[in-house]
Amino acid sequence: MPEVSVFYEIAALLMLASVVGVIGLRLRQPMIVSFIIVGMLAGPAGFDIVRSTDHLQLLSELGVTLLLFLVGLKLDLNLVRTLGTVALSTGLGQIAFTSIAGFLICLGLGMPVLMSLYVAVALTFSSTIIIVKLLSDKRELDALHGRIALGFLIVQDLAVVVAMAVMSAMTAGSGSDAGMIQALLALAAGAVPLVLLWLFVLKIANPLLQSMAKAPELLIVFALGLAAAFAALGDYLGFSKELGGLIAGVALASTPFREAIASRLGSLRDFLLVFFFISLGSHLDLRVVGDAVGDALFLSLFVLIGNPLIVMIIMGAMGYRKRTGFLAGLTVAQISEFSLIFVAMGLALGHVTEEAVGLVTLVGVITIGLSTYMILYSQRLYIAVERFLGVFERRVAHREEQYADGDETQRYDVLLLGLGRYGRALYSRFSESGLNVLGIDFDPDVIRQWKDSGAAVMYGDLLDPDMCDILPIAGVDYVILAVPPHQIGITHEDPRITLIEALRHRGYGGHIAVIARSESDMALLRQKGADIVLSPFADAAERAMERLFRKPIPFAID
């Protein structure tokens, strides 16, 4: 049989992904699940389409590297320091709980000690890649719970490095001093990319990108090259490529070109990630699970319920609201692709059998699939279980209040929700007109910047059903939702309608203004109770006409 071209395989995979994706959309399923199914269909357990696994793996690794690079572009080092305590406490606490409790559960299920240890450690890792993709699709990556989740997921990634180093030491030295020295040297090598990062940010980044900005194509090529170079360096030093890509993004995060780079690379990231999920699905060979279905279901319930619970307990003890803890906790309700890699390495070393690999594989399929839905429908899920979550919340001031600057006794003329580009322009015009404005946003980084400039701001999430209870709406004339009209993921939740209904239910009698994108959208929002519907592009065109033909109209809100 003649050798099949790699190009033919990629073409077949993309067409299969398109067909399955369309079916998934019709069934209202998340794309991640659809692409994992494509991998299972194309892998050895299915039609065995994938023969050039090295090429597929290369595209997969590029996609993962680019994803973490773009995440690093948005990381503010000041914010990382601020969230460092909760990230470290939650990450280490979850790792300790899952590994200890998982080890005891595996022993109770009759597994050997070494196999129990491997499976328990595998259960501690959550998929940074999948979680970042889901939160990014839902536009929650910049929310407080998204930032915290990213923090403790990074802690987990570092724990993966430690686990791999310990396993390497066991292999190289069988527990001898030489093996431990080798592990310590591997960990010490991790300082190399951090030193390079510091030097690059301090001396090189801004002037280098300034010279490249004249040719946008060169800027993008350099960004991709830097991400790949740091990923390769991380892999060479014994760390993950993902961590290297993240560090590369952080290296450019302080430059004024990060938004331009991120916008141009977004589509490429989404395309390459398709191959990651296909690759992940192709490795999920369910033929080796045998009689482990019962054990896999039990361990899956432990991951789906136990991991979020321990995160909520820790975050509640630290003063975070139950909603923040719940949404962050859902992000650890699955195991990672690193879990499969970790157990597969154990199999190669002779520490575990194929039954362990099959067991962890099945747990991965179950938890990744179910947790995807849990995160996508997190708001509805929270509403359903909110009355049972009071035990996870302290009765003292919430940690979120450190991002607030609004005075509950102060009377505001306008509450402005959303401090993006449009919100910033509105805030400036309102303030110039002498109106007392309170700005509200869900991004802690934005809140901190506005507080530093002396503006009155507070933290708030539009999808939080309890947010209206903390809004100082007494005496407010206008509540303005300066957020883009988008739907959240595949759940079709509209935060504008949610907030309108919540405000009216609370008895707010002032004016509500929202942004719409079309005539039908305007009609729907008016039907739901909006008094004023704004169309930024149409309004800007009218204002441009006024200026062009010199017919100024005084700025006012009527």
SS3 per-residue string spanning 83-110? CHHHHHHHHHHHHHHHHHHHHHHHHHCC
d(CA 297, CA 247): 37
List C-alpha distances in Å: 475 to 411, 455, 460, 504. 6, 20, 19, 15
| CB-based contact 400:324 (threshold 8 Å) | yes
The strands making up 511-515's β-sheet, listed across from edge to edge, are 457-459, 437-441, 414-417, 478-481, 511-515, 532-534
Buried b (16+ CB within 10 A) or exposed e, 444-453: bbbbbbbbee
441-489 pLDDT per residue, tens: 877 767 777 777 777 888 777 666 666 666 777 778 888 888 766 544 4
At the topology level, CATH places domain 54-272+291-333+346-392 in Na+/H+ antiporter like fold (1.20.1530)
Residue 181's contacts (CB-CB under 8 Å, 6 or more residues apart) are 173
Tell me how far the alpha carbon of residue 385 is from its chain's centroid. 22
| CB-based contact 485:521 (threshold 8 Å) | yes
Predicted local distance difference test score (pLDDT) of residue 450 = 79
The answer, yes or no, to whether residue 215 has pLDDT greater than 80, is no
The answer, yes or no, to whether residue 165 has pLDDT greater than 60, is no
493-551 pLDDT per residue, tens: 677 777 787 787 777 888 888 888 777 777 888 887 888 888 777 777 777 777 777 65
- Average pLDDT, rounded, for the chain: 76
111-120 pLDDT per residue, tens: 888 888 888 9
Residue 134 tokens read as 């889901």
d(CA 169, CA 173): 6
In degrees, to the nearest 5, what angle opens at C-alpha 402 toward C-alphas 429 and 428?
A: 5
- Spell out the alpha helix ranges (H) of 237-257: 241-253
Domain boundaries, the chain: 54-272+291-333+346-392, 405-548
d(CA 452, CA 253): 19
Out of 43-57, 78-92, 173-187, 237-251, which region has the weakest mean confidence (pLDDT)? 173-187
d(CA 382, CA 391): 14
Strands 457-459 and 532-534, bridge-based pairing: unpaired
The CATH number assigned to the domain with range 405-548 reads 3.40.50.720
54-272+291-333+346-392 and 405-548, same CATH topology: no
**Against a cut of 0.85, is the pTM above it?**
no
Predicted local distance difference test score (pLDDT) of residue 555 = 47
More confident residue, 188 or 433: 433
Residue 483's contacts (CB-CB under 8 Å, 6 or more residues apart) are 417, 418, 420, 423, 462, 495, 496, 515
Predicted local distance difference test score (pLDDT) of residue 1 = 42
- Based on DSSP, count helices (H) and strands (E) in the chain, helices before strands: 26, 6
Buried b (16+ CB within 10 A) or exposed e, 64-78: bbbbbbbbbbbbbee
